[in-house]
Structure 1
């Protein structure tokens, strides 16, 4: 059977990296949106994070998806169009394809080159599957290509990526998903749970330093793409669980007093001052079900792994 694959480039029209740096470094506290982690090297580093022994979500979620694939298919039915925001390497959808038998798969990612490589690898493995790879900033839009067949849809959002949104913006994103799946649409989503802070702190501070390299790569990308006068070695990685906010925070910490310059702007950093690069919110089942109550999604089923370390939820469009 001939391979069926199309590519669609919807380059982000939102904040550019340079604009984000200027706004973020002038802010108090300083910050950069986490979507800018994902240049080609950043995407590869995130894939490496998922292989670290301390970072438990990928292994647990993949085991759950493999074990529950047939049960999920009984609830969703087969023949849906599946779209996956932030598809990355498309590793997890492979566990569901044989059971769900979709009519098409739409992987979405902000890193175009990484997305193309992942899509080509997928069709090599599943040549029967039409793949419509879409390069897009999914935090702003979820464009479904016109070439995608009609029919019921299933949004797949694994990896607890919903935790990168604040609760308020998570509701906005889920409402956008609801609009895209339409009538009889469904959402299968992975969500990290609240647990022993020691487990969470270890997950974001792996012994091999891959998460640190991922965080610091943001500075290399900023320097390479904007020309900012910046030495990444003057910063270090910091990640910790903030129990009051129910989230893991990642920061880049200035090792010294320094001044960064970009297009006439001067950004003063004190020793120990941070750039807040990412949040990862954690939810109990009760909290997450309550979060989705007002976005038009009705819970069909949810599954917790042993020791309640991770959860999968299946919703249907109201």
Structure 2
């Protein structure tokens, strides 16, 4: 039975509290920064979908290629009866996993988790039409800070796709992995998608496309702040920049002030000055080497049981288990 599209989809009551706290903290910091989760309002989510279709943006195509080839094996190895997807977005690539799991079991459960209520509603409505027998338990939440899942049939597969793991800072990744490990029951697995280190020119192009879609996506966060916090950002007074940091091996998305200016956020009683050329960081996207990923997982009591890449070695999918989980493959 499919869950109605508007059930269980009320945005968290703490939305505004968290937004106010993040913006106050981030715009008062030096250098200025905002968590990337605020890029994904309704328009931001739509723009990101357009980004995934751009010729420069390889991660989505590469991950889909791996899933197309390996979804059946993932279903066989895990025997999962529940798919929990963290940062589910449009749930597009998810269909490859759902199809494989449904072929193995007559009845499965899908629990999409995303911070964007609008994206969730659209995804659940589309899946309800295409998977009439699928049980869905959607949850609007920020899974990087706290997540309580309802009782769901096991074994469970927690999918964290799209390279979103790389948007977390190293300390945040460590907290996320330890927290996720604590939620795993015997037989549960994590399916983790990570972008791999590669030529910096290719990386920069993926985050600063010729058509300017990524720039529009990045600048849209200012429009969101104007709407939600009664701010007076002028998006035309900022420009999108993508920078490769070779030391941390990550791409930074930034907004650069075109001139000296002061922005007022009435709801926060905050006046924020920007120097000409000053940056506001809106996202990092870490790129991984297999050895480094294994080290981070090991520090959280996890290990890779299976590892797959696309034919060009641009992107990786890791199937992950607890170190103390001796449950044999199904």
The answer, yes or no, to whether TM exceeds 0.5 is yes
Separation (CA, whole Å) in 2 of partners of 1:232 and 1:10: 27
What's the secondary structure of 1:308's corresponding residue?
Answer: coil
1:246 aligns with 2:249: yes
Distance in 2 between the 1:225 and 1:13 partners? 14
Q: Which of the residues 130, 148, 154 maps onto 1:143?
A: 148
Query: What is the total number of aligned residue pairs between the two structures?
Result: 314
Contact 2:79 2:155 in 1 (8 A): no
Aligned to 2:199: 196
How do residues 71-220 of structure 1 correspond to structure 2 at under 5 angstroms? 71-78=73-80, 80-101=81-102, 103-146=108-151, 149-220=152-223
Residue 10 of structure 1 and its aligned partner are, at CA, apart by 6.0
Offset at residue 136 of structure 1 (A): 0.6
Paired position in structure 1 for 2:275: 270
**Conserved 8 A contact 2:154-2:188:** no
Residues 1:312 and 2:313 are matched in the alignment: no
Unaligned 5+ runs, structure 2 = 325-330
Q: Distance in 2 between matches of 1:251 and 1:202?
A: 14
Q: Distance in 2 between matches of 1:226 and 1:207?
A: 31
CA distance in 1 between counterparts of 2:186 and 2:14 reads: 28
RMSD (Å) for aligned C-alpha atoms: 1.6
Q: Where do 1:44-63 residues align within 5 Å?
A: 44-63=46-65
Matched, 1:286 2:291: yes
Q: CA deviation at 1:229?
A: 2.1
Q: Gaps (5+ residues) in structure 1? A: none
Distance in 2 separating the partners of 1:179 and 1:82: 17
- What's the CA shift for 1:290? 0.9
Q: For 1:258-315, what per-residue CA distance to the aligned partner results, in whole angstroms no more than 9, with x for missing partners?
A: 0111244221111000101100001111110111002222221101222321101001
| Residues 101, 108 of structure 2: 8 Å contact kept | no
| 1:3 equivalent in alignment to 2:5 | no
Aligned counterparts of 1:265 and 1:303: Cα–Cα separation in 2: 48
